[in-house]
Amino acid sequence: MGFKRTSAQLLLTVAVAFFSHVSAGIVPQTLSFRDVPSVANVTNATAQAVANAAQQKTMIRGVNLGGFLVIESFITPTLFSRTNNSAIVDEWTFSTLQPRDQAARLLQGHLDSFITERDLAMISDLGLNHIRLPIPFYAIDVAPDEPYLKLNRWELAKQVVRWAGKHNVRVIVDLHSLPGGQNGYDHSGKTGQNLWASNQTYFDRSLAIVKIIASEFSKPEYGSTVIAIEPVNEPVTNLTRVAEYYSHSRDIISSASNSTIVTLMDDGGPQNLDSWRTRPAPHNMSAMSSHPYLVFNDADILSNRTEKVEKICALGKMYQKFNDEEMYLVVDEWTPAFTDCAVNLNGRGRGSRYDGSFPGSKGRRATCQGKVGPGSSFSAGYKQMLGLMWEAQVVSYERAAGWMQWTWKTEPGFAEDWSYLAGVVHGWIPQDPTERRFNVTCP
């Protein structure tokens, strides 16, 4: 895959765009699981067609547009601090604990500036070929008893897909939050609320939103830009109910798209992956996703680099087996970050396990100094660690259908160990995603 500019020109463009807080980018015309029904549960004739198609596909290498249409306080901390209310921790409180006109003004300013066409162009220039676009349910449907600000988020989602198509980037549309909440995390809309699976009204509303998304992005004007729709992000609930939801979603998406858009199913955590081999979830026109984060529990925080690389390699082996035997699997959220030191990462104002400031954390590992804030302030050792963690995961996850890092960018000066763009600017991520500097190999 050739670059459109020389390395020096590209890096200069990246740096200028990054520090002015504007960016862009996307892929060639082939990709991993587009138009492929499944690897399992198909007829012999179809299986041969799948095998032939798979040989012509391109490894997924991409990024998430996190913190854009679904705001998160660790990605854009000053969007929250400008409210002058420390109790505002998610979109529910963002819409209820400040004057509504102020909330709308702050949020609209963010939506207008955080992601532009230049981001899509830059992503493409960096040799990446996919984006994952998280969308909240309230971009499309807000009930009378819900305070969320819809604004023009749905129109912006459609605009991003058009930009992606213009720059030859493929898109996975991710329904990142569901009515009632699917996990209780802040990015589901309302922290602590996890009612979606147990409430039929919420369940049915979600399917209606999936239908709207599938119908929109099946229109000829988008061409083949949208290759998959992910009907739920990180469900923390009854997986039998989730499997039922996937079956309904797959039928809706396949019908709306004439079987050209894949249903991407979140496994609910790598620990659940094997259970999907036997659950009555759809296989035809489906693929699996997984989010193997290694910074959100004490055991992972206390692991050293060797232990983390070993765990990453084990995950890759598991993903490869599932990818080969069941259906295509893409790791569509992960981070090279070695710590949870980023401001607000564990919730606004909740501290980190790494330095022992997170409530209930069992043992402080070390100070966050040199591992938090802008990438320019990271120690040389931490930058090297980030490079190793990035390469180990890329190598491992390419044993399956590929990867999409969380996230493309953060507000400058914050959580830059999570930012692909900052990683390129400061050197721990190579400009060419196929370059390997550490010679990581997994057994």
Catalytic residues: 234, 333
Q: Which helix (H) or strand (E) holds 172?
A: strand 170-177
**Would you state the structure tokens that stand for residue 90, as one six-digit string?**
């998610």
Residue type, 211: K
Question: How many helices, marked H, and strands, marked E, lie in the chain?
Answer: 13, 8
CA distance 206 to 31: 28
Q: What is the CA radius of gyration of the chain?
A: 20
Q: How many CA atoms lie within 13 A of 190 on its CB side?
A: 17
Give me the count of residues in the chain.
Answer: 443
**Would you state the structure tokens that stand for residue 390, as one six-digit string?**
């990035």
CA distance 269 to 290: 6
Q: How many CA atoms lie within 13 A of 308 on its CB side?
A: 26
Apex 306 CA angle, 236 and 371, nearest 5: 70
Query: Which of 23, 32, 2 has its CA nearest to residue 403?
Result: 32
Query: Which of 310, 308, 309, 330 has its CA nearest to residue 319?
Result: 330
Residue whose pair of structure tokens reads 């802008």 in the numeric block: 374
DSSP 321-364: HHHHHTS-EEE------SSS-STTTTSTT---TTTT-STT----
3-state secondary structure string across 21-81: CCCECCCCCCCCCCCCCCCCCCCHHHHHHHHHHHHCCCCEEEEECCCCCCCCCCCCHHHHH
